Structure 1
Amino acid sequence: MYEPIRTKSVHSTMAGTTSDFPHRSREEELDIQLAGHLGALLAVTDELRAAAPSEDLDTAAERLTVQVARLRGGVTPVRMSAAASDDDPVALHQRAHALAGRALVVAASRADTAAAILAAEQMDVHAAALEPRELASR
């Protein structure tokens, strides 16, 4: 009733067979994922730097650049230009906090202490920026 399959499957299910496409290890996949999260955090940090320049943001951006380059095998990440962002600073801090949290989770699963510490520090920085300014209004 049905015609039999005449070609070899592209999905090899037999153990010990080699395939024509490259496989990455779990560590390599986590490196790629962590570099992506830190790169996105760097982009948001650059947006915040353009909106409100600060030495702390400059330092954070440089540290993020070093970590992303390390994870990408020495390839320096592309940086945002100095054009000011139209986004609300609160929204940028929220986005940066979320990205730092994602980076922290991946860094912890990868056992990357340097990236985990940096991500945790950035979470604290952006959480503090989101707290209401009660003392300033008194």
Structure 2
Amino acid sequence: MYEPIRSKSVHSTMAGTASDFPHRSREEELDIQLAGHLAALLAVTDELRTLAPAADLDTAADRLAEQVARLRGGRAPVRTPVAAVTELPVLHRRAHALAGRALVVAASRADTAAAILAAERMDAHAAAQGDPQELSGTAQ
């Protein structure tokens, strides 16, 4: 029914053959993803700090920068001054979504420190939006 493949595959799938490109483990891929999500959350947090300076945002930004540096092998994240053009509710929604993504990746790689930080940021941004908190797990 189908014509057989006549040319050699461009992908090396044979056991024992050397590859021309580096492979990363699942753990390394998750570290890269988590660092990216946390760096994006840091950028939004810096925007929020520009629009509405607050001590808790300063603390959160410092903690996010520490986690990104840890995941990137000690390299600090690039932080640039931002021109605040976005409204606060939009930034809080964006930060909440980014923190949620970071929480999923942190949970999948069993990174407790990053998961706790992401969950705290989700709660803080949900509270800033006026959303009801449903993470407690208690029924009323």
Same fold by TM-score, threshold 0.5 exceeded?
yes
Alignment of 1:44-123 (within 5 A): 44-81=44-81, 83-123=82-122
Aligned position for 1:129: 128
Give the conservation status (yes or no) of the 8 Å contact 1:94–1:130.
yes
Aligned position for 1:23: 23
Query: How far has the Cα of 1:39 moved from its partner?
Result: 0.1
Percent identical residues? 77
Query: How far has the Cα of 1:127 moved from its partner?
Result: 0.3
Superposed structure 1 runs of 4+ greater than 6 Å apart = none
Amino acid aligned to 1:66: E
Query: SS at 1:126's partner residue?
Result: helix
Number of aligned residue pairs: 127
Structure with greater helix share of residues: 1
Q: Which runs of 5+ in 1 are unaligned?
A: 133-138
Query: How far has the Cα of 1:13 moved from its partner?
Result: 1.8
Q: TM-score, normalised by structure 1?
A: 0.87
d(CA) in 1 for partners of 2:79, 2:120:
21
d(CA) in 2 for partners of 1:95, 1:35:
17
Amino acid aligned to 1:29: E
d(CA) in 1 for partners of 2:44, 2:100:
14
Query: How far has the Cα of 1:84 moved from its partner?
Result: 4.0
d(CA) in 2 for partners of 1:88, 1:131:
15
d(CA) in 2 for partners of 1:125, 1:61:
13
Give the conservation status (yes or no) of the 8 Å contact 1:47–1:80.
no
Aligned position for 1:9: 9
Query: How far has the Cα of 1:17 moved from its partner?
Result: 1.5
Query: How far has the Cα of 1:49 moved from its partner?
Result: 0.2
Aligned position for 2:134: none
Query: How far has the Cα of 1:10 moved from its partner?
Result: 2.4
Query: SS at 1:63's partner residue?
Result: helix
d(CA) in 1 for partners of 2:123, 2:52:
18
Query: SS at 2:10's partner residue?
Result: coil
Q: Which runs of 5+ in 2 are unaligned?
A: 1-5, 132-140
d(CA) in 1 for partners of 2:73, 2:13:
32
* CA RMSD, 1 decimal: 1.5
Give the conservation status (yes or no) of the 8 Å contact 1:41–1:96.
yes
